[in-house]
Amino acid sequence: MAGQLVVFAEDECHLLSGDTLGCVWGRKNERTEVPIKNARDKQTYYGALNLYNKDFVLAPCKKGNGENTVLFIKKLRDLNPDKKLMIIWDGASYHRCQEVHDYLSEVNQDLDKKIGK
């Protein structure tokens, strides 16, 4: 049974334009302007840390929702074929939505929802 279970801690990060800052070279005592195309641009990342070997999986997507959550779970499954996955996540609404529930029901088939059964 050793090596058959992979445990991930999973979460999302939603960055808005301007959340991350960089440095540029400019003249001393002069403000350097950097044009921003759209201040409302945003990027969501799904990330999961393998709690055993510390591998980190990162996937950019347009937003956090049920569809992208299912796609990220599929990515984790593709990276860990023939393994059982345990995903620890928070209570985000898209983690609990019908699309995710349906996918997990399909994957887990008739397994009892109670731990240890």
Residues 22-77: pLDDT tens digits? Answer: 556 667 777 766 555 555 677 889 999 999 999 999 999 989 999 999 999 999 99
Q: How far is CA 72 from CA 9, 13, 68, in A?
A: 13, 13, 6
Mean pLDDT of 10-31: 73
Q: pLDDT confidence of 79, banded at 50, 70, 90?
A: very high
Domains and CATH numbers, the chain: 5-108 (3.30.420.10)
Neighbours of 59 (CB within 10 A): 15
**Phi, psi (rounded to 5 degrees) for 43:** -140, 135
Q: CA-CA distance, 88 to 98, in Å (whole number)? A: 18
Sign of the CA dihedral with 9 first, then 14, 19, and 20 last:
positive
Full-model pTM: 0.75
- The burial class, CB within 10 Å (0-12 / 13-18 / 19+), for 8 is buried
